[in-house]
């Protein structure tokens, strides 16, 4: 007998564990909550959530696959119609385990496993809205910062342009002063040649 991935098997063998999980999941889907040991609840959680995922698909192949595990057609019908519609907008976490203390007889730790059929809470919608608002504020701050940088860069550019325009007339006057004697000498030479 191959060993399971997580801890010892529930019951005697693999077939017994499969039947036990199928019966527990059928009871869970029928009653919406069951009381069992913590170990069984932890083993039932991924099994039941996988069946709910099949039910959310809703196609014939998924229904036949679930019917191969749970033999009660009424429970499978309820799973595919009522439960699948109730968890339609939920992306996972279809079950909840709550520990309730130890059993009186053998002191075994007990838990209640139940289906989470409430719609996705408004709190999650508020969190999503707050996240988007924070993103918008961050984008606005970035835009304001860029505008401020542009505003700071603009006076610097204007002063540089002003300095360049001030330097340009000075350079022009210097060039004109240098060209004036040269022009006078050229004019004097041309007069001498003309004589």
The yes-or-no verdict on residue 5 having pLDDT over 70 is: no
In whole angstroms, give the CA distance from residue 110 to residue 35. 7
Domain ranges of the chain: 14-119
Match domain 14-119 to its CATH number in 3.90.1030.10, 3.40.50.800, 3.20.20.140, 3.40.50.1820.
Answer: 3.90.1030.10
More confident residue, 84 or 160: 84
Average pLDDT over all residues of the chain = 82
* Best CA proximity match to 28, nearest among 117, 102, 146: 117
**20-28 contacts at long range (C-beta below 8 A, 24 or more positions apart):** 21/47, 22/69, 22/70, 22/71, 24/48, 25/51, 25/69, 25/70, 26/70, 26/72, 26/75, 28/95, 28/113, 28/114, 28/115
Residue 133's pLDDT band (cuts 50, 70, 90):
confident
The yes-or-no verdict on residue 171 having pLDDT over 70 is: no
- Residue-wise pLDDT for 22-78, tens only, equals 999 999 999 999 999 999 999 999 999 999 999 999 999 999 999 999 999 999 999
The answer to whether the CB of 37 falls within 8 A of the CB of 110 is yes
In whole angstroms, give the CA distance from residue 163 to residue 148. 23
Which pLDDT value is given to residue 172? 59
Is this model's pTM higher than 0.75 or not?
Answer: no
């Amino acid at each position: 007998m191959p060993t399971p991935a997580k801890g010892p098997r529930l019951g005697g063998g693999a077939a017994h564990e499969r039947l036990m999980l199928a019966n527990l999941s059928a009871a869970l889907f029928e009653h919406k909550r069951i009381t069992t040991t913590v170990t069984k609840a932890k083993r039932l959680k991924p099994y039941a959530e996988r069946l709910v995922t099949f039910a959310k698909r809703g196609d014939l192949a998924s229904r036949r696959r679930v019917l191969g595990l749970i033999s009660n057609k009424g429970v499978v019908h309820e799973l595919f119609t009522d439960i699948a519609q109730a968890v339609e907008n939920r992306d996972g976490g279809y079950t909840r385990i709550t520990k309730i203390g130890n059993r009186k007889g053998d002191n075994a730790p007990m838990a209640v496993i139940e289906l989470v059929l409430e719609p996705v809470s408004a709190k999650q919608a508020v969190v999503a809205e707050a996240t988007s608002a924070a993103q918008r504020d961050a984008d606005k701050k970035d835009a304001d910062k860029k505008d401020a940088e542009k505003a700071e860069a603009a006076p610097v550019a204007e002063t540089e342009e002003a300095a360049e325009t001030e330097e340009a007339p000075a350079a022009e006057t210097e060039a004109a002063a240098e060209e004036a004697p040269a022009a006078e000498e050229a004019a004097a030479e041309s007069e001498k040649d003309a004589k």
